[in-house]
Each structure stands twice: as C-alpha cells, then as structure tokens.
Structure 1
Amino acid sequence: MAVDRAHLDDLFAAFGPVAVRAMFGGHGIYADGAMFALEAGGVLYLKADAAFARELEARGSAPFGYVASNGRRTVMSFWRLPEAAMDDPDDLAVLARRALAVARAAAAKARRPARKRP
C-alpha cells in the first residue's frame, strides 16, 4: 500500500480527521492527540489491549514486531488492520474508534501516579 497523507485521509474518512507524524521510517496516526495507529512498511496497525488483540487475531491479524539491533525480537501492542477493513470504511471506523479508546485508556493509566507501598 502506498502511504501518503491523502491515502490515510481517505482510509479514515468514516472515522474522522487524523494527524500523521513521521516516525522510525513509518508514521504514527493520531486522533485528539492520542496515537491509535501506526504505519510501518506500508502496513497499518491499530493499538490493542488484550481483549481487542484477541478479536483482531480472530480476524487473521498479527502483532507488529521488529528485531532490535541486539537481535532481540520486540512485539508491540499494535495489531495489523484486518484486510477486510481496508475495503470497508465503516468497519475500519469501528476498529479505529476501538483502537482510540485503547490508546486513551493506556495514556490515562500512564498518567496515574504510582501508589506508594507501606
């Protein structure tokens, strides 16, 4: 898939406006300041928690991962957008909203101060 701003705007039209920022040879995709998707190597990935990841896996998706310079494989909490959603704007919008909710929840959790242990 060729990735440019116009293509991403078309894909996410039913979802709403997105901001796109270049990162690590790919792009971070944001809504309301939260990164809910990423593009790497021409593939779109959505932010997922455990429950959403299971749903995406059931649809044939796989997690985003890479091999670091030390040879260690790293898997992130982003899962490939199911192929069917690429051709169904309403399905993509539903999945993107779910990913945005996951991203917002993760950001809120990260902002909470750690509890002190007695």
Structure 2
Amino acid sequence: MSVFVQSLHETFERLGRIETRRMFGGHGVWHEGRMIALVAKDTLYLKSDAGSAAHFDALNLPPFTYVRAGKEMPMSYRLAPADLFEDREEAARWGRLAYEAALRSGQPPKPKKARKTAAKAVTR
C-alpha cells in the first residue's frame, strides 16, 4: 500500500473511520460500508452524482476516466480538490458529499467480513 493511500486515514479522520482496499490496480476507499473514493496512481477521486456535481463543476474537477475499446469512459468519481489535503474539516465536508452520493447510488453496502476467530467459535 502506498504512503499516499495510508495517509488518507489521517486526511479523513474527522469524517470517521475509512477502509482502503486494493482493486483494479488502484485502491478503493470505503466509509460505513460504502465506496466513497478511489485512488489511481496516487490521485484521489471522490464519488459524485447529479446531486453533488455542482460542487465539482465549480472547481473544474474532472471525472476519473478509463479507456475501453479505444473510447474514454468517465466514471462517477471526480478529482478531489487539493484543499482537502490541507484542511481536515474540508476533507470531512468532501467526504460527506461523497458518502451521500454513494448512498444515493442505490448500491448495497459492502458486507462486513466476519472475523476468523468469530467464525471458528461458531463452528465449534
């Protein structure tokens, strides 16, 4: 895990606990079981939707895109503002916007993994 990804726990400390997990050559960032951000090449992108797009548009923050069949495909994650890394309250505000967008997406929360010790106790 990169130093950048590890630093996100501190960045979002006022939002609450986050979890990070490797995925697709980058990392996903979860809060309360919902994916609120992704990290690609040590760049943070926050979950967005029609309800939060104006905040990103006001700062001219582009979407994360990938290429599929020679065509650029935008995703529902937008570049995080640089101020977020300097101000924990600002990070919490943007984190809440991303969390709210994740809630509106209709995707179910990520199921919590049972701890191995708890699973062993059940099988005994």
TM-score by length of 2: 0.79
**In the alignment, what sits opposite 2:115?**
none
Where does structure 1 lack aligned partners over 5 or more consecutive residues? 111-118
Q: CA deviation at 1:72?
A: 1.5
Q: Distance in 1 between matches of 2:38 and 2:88?
A: 17
**In the alignment, what sits opposite 1:30?**
30
1:1-118 maps to which residues of 2 (within 5 A)? 2-5=3-6, 7-68=7-68, 70-107=69-106
**Change over 3 Å in CA distance of 1:18–1:28 after alignment to 2:** same
Contact 2:47 2:77 in 1 (8 A): yes
Residues 9-51 of structure 1: CA deviation (Å, up to 9, x unaligned): 1111111110111011111100111001111111111111123
Where does structure 2 lack aligned partners over 5 or more consecutive residues? 109-124
Q: Distance in 1 between matches of 2:95 and 2:22?
A: 19
| Percent of residue pairs bearing the same amino acid type | 34
Q: Distance in 2 between matches of 1:96 and 1:51?
A: 14
Residues 73-110 of structure 1: CA deviation (Å, up to 9, x unaligned): 100010010112221110110110111011011126x7
Q: Distance in 2 between matches of 1:18 and 1:40?
A: 17
Q: Distance in 1 between matches of 2:41 and 2:57?
A: 20
Structure 1 stretches (4+) deviating beyond 4 angstroms? none
Q: Distance in 2 between matches of 1:57 and 1:87?
A: 21
Contact 2:18 2:29 in 1 (8 A): yes
**In the alignment, what sits opposite 1:115?**
none
TM-score by length of 1: 0.83
Q: CA deviation at 1:3?
A: 2.1
What is the total number of aligned residue pairs between the two structures? 107
